[in-house]
């Protein structure tokens, strides 16, 4: 069985599952694994590193993958967008920042434009910019997000799009880690899901093993939003609405609410943080992860995650769902 939605038709994929373009973690190997499993892998362009991007597209090989940027950071080096567009990505995703003039450049190249939004204001901006796909991100998500919960944001976004931009495809993100989340997203009016934390804990992610084990061992209460991780990384976000969700670990317990004090010893703490990160020390660095961690018990191959998610969603939605279709010729049921 598989799921057919407007997302699968728009992107020419088999399953309505997108890999969140998590900086550093969502590399070419993981993106390719998700695409080969029937979803769409999106390389995490993050804050922008030209050499890293080249390495990751090379790692993806000939597999169709997309790429995503933190928009306000990429805007400082717009040549990064040209670099990725030259790779003819399957889609390009913009998150957190003014979508223009980047959206027009993407659309002019015929590349599907995905815009991630955290509220209705940003949704309207994405529609005005001609987004082909809009990702409604709830605050349950790991990494940066706004204040809206996914359970209300998705149906409100679906209603708005139905009235003002009926051809725009809607994707849900934040707290999706199994088939229950996928099925719920479709019932709420989305056409698919964007998944992050669940794919951090898989074999192909670029995450250190210590981070995978931290996610597996955590429940949904183990995360919090804190600016401390951004400050120590010298990532100064221009919009204070977007705060990063991370594991509530030793580093965060020490420095949350004391960000000004971090800045007084920034060089020492910055080096200490990144040394711990590279070593996979989940207690003394920053593990960007969402509340869905409480649903994650293992770190299988990405393909197995996709297969499990789709199979569970199909069972829950039932054979009468318009999204559930039987196996076609040559396809496994």
> pLDDT tens across 184-216, in order?
999 999 999 999 999 999 999 999 999 999 999
CA dist 95 and 158 (Å) reads: 19
pLDDT at residue 333 is higher than 50: no
* Chain-centre distance for alpha carbon 223: 17
Together in a domain, 12 and 118: yes
Cα 207 to Cα 18, 149, 211: the distances in Å are: 18, 26, 6
Tell me what pLDDT residue 181 has: 98
pLDDT at residue 331 is higher than 50: no
Together in a domain, 90 and 172: yes
For 21-43, the pLDDT digits (tens) are 999 999 999 999 999 999 999 99
Rg of the chain on CA atoms, in Å: 19
Tell me what pLDDT residue 326 has: 81
Tell me what pLDDT residue 283 has: 97
In this structure, what token pair is assigned to residue 297?
Answer: 């018990």
Q: What percent of the chain has pLDDT over 90?
A: 96
In this structure, what token pair is assigned to residue 78?
Answer: 């717009």
Stretch 146-150: mean pLDDT: 97
Stretch 315-332: mean pLDDT: 76
pLDDT at residue 110 is higher than 50: yes
CATH number at residue 118: 3.20.20.70
Under the banding of pLDDT at 50, 70 and 90, the label for residue 112 is very high
For 66-83, the pLDDT digits (tens) are 999 999 999 999 999 999
Together in a domain, 232 and 173: no
pLDDT at residue 13 is higher than 60: yes
Residue 239 in any domain: the answer is yes
Residue with the larger pLDDT of the pair 333 and 130: 130
How many domains are there within the chain?
2
Tell me what pLDDT residue 1 has: 83
For 267-300, the pLDDT digits (tens) are 999 999 999 999 999 999 999 999 999 999 999 9
Which is nearest to 111 in space by CA: 232, 10, 222, 4? 10
pLDDT at residue 328 is higher than 80: no
Cross-strand partners of 3 = 324
Residue 325 in any domain: the answer is no
Residue 240 in any domain: the answer is yes
Range of the domain at 263: 219-288
Cα 329 to Cα 1, 5, 112, 150, 332: the distances in Å are: 12, 19, 29, 37, 8
Give me the sign of the Cα torsion angle 114, 2, 295, 181: positive
For 88-106, the pLDDT digits (tens) are 999 999 999 999 999 999 9
Together in a domain, 75 and 192: yes
Together in a domain, 165 and 270: no
Together in a domain, 250 and 308: no
Together in a domain, 18 and 92: yes
Together in a domain, 283 and 138: no
Output the average pLDDT for the chain. 95
């Amino acid at each position: 069985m598989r799921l057919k939605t407007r997302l699968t038709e728009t992107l020419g994929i088999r399953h309505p599952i997108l890999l969140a373009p998590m900086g550093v973690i969502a590399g070419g190997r993981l993106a390719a694994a998700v695409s080969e499993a029937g979803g769409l892998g999106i390389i995490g362009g993050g804050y922008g590193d030209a050499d890293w991007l080249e390495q990751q597209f090379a790692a993806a090989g000939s597999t169709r993958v997309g790429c995503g940027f933190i928009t306000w950071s990429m805007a400082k080096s717009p040549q990064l967008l040209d670099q990725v567009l030259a790779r003819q990505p399957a889609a390009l995703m913009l998150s957190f920042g003014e979508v223009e003039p980047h959206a027009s450049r993407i659309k002019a190249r015929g590349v599907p434009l995905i815009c991630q939004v955290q509220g209705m204001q940003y949704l309207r901006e994405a529609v005005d910019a001609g987004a082909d796909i809009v990702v409604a991100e709830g605050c349950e998500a790991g990494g940066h997000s706004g204040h809206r919960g996914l359970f209300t944001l998705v149906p409100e976004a679906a209603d708005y799009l139905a009235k003002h931009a009926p051809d725009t495809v809607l994707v849900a993100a934040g707290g999706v880690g199994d088939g229950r989340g996928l099925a719920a997203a479709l019932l709420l009016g989305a056409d698919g899901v964007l998944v992050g934390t669940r794919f951090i804990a898989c074999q192909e992610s670029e995450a250190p093993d210590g981070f995978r084990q931290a996610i597996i061992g955590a429940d949904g209460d183990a995360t919090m939003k804190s600016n401390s991780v951004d400050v120590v990384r010298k990532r100064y976000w221009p919009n204070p609405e977007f705060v990063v969700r991370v594991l509530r670990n030793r580093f965060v317990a020490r420095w949350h609410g004391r960000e000004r004090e971090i800045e007084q010893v920034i060089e020492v703490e910055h080096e200490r943080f990144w040394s711990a990160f590279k070593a996979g020390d989940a207690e003394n660095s920053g593990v960007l992860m969402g509340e869905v961690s409480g649903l994650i018990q293992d770190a299988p191959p990405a393909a197995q995650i996709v297969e499990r998610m789709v199979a569970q969603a199909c069972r829950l939605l039932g054979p009468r769902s318009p999204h559930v279709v039987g196996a076609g010729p040559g396809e496994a049921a």
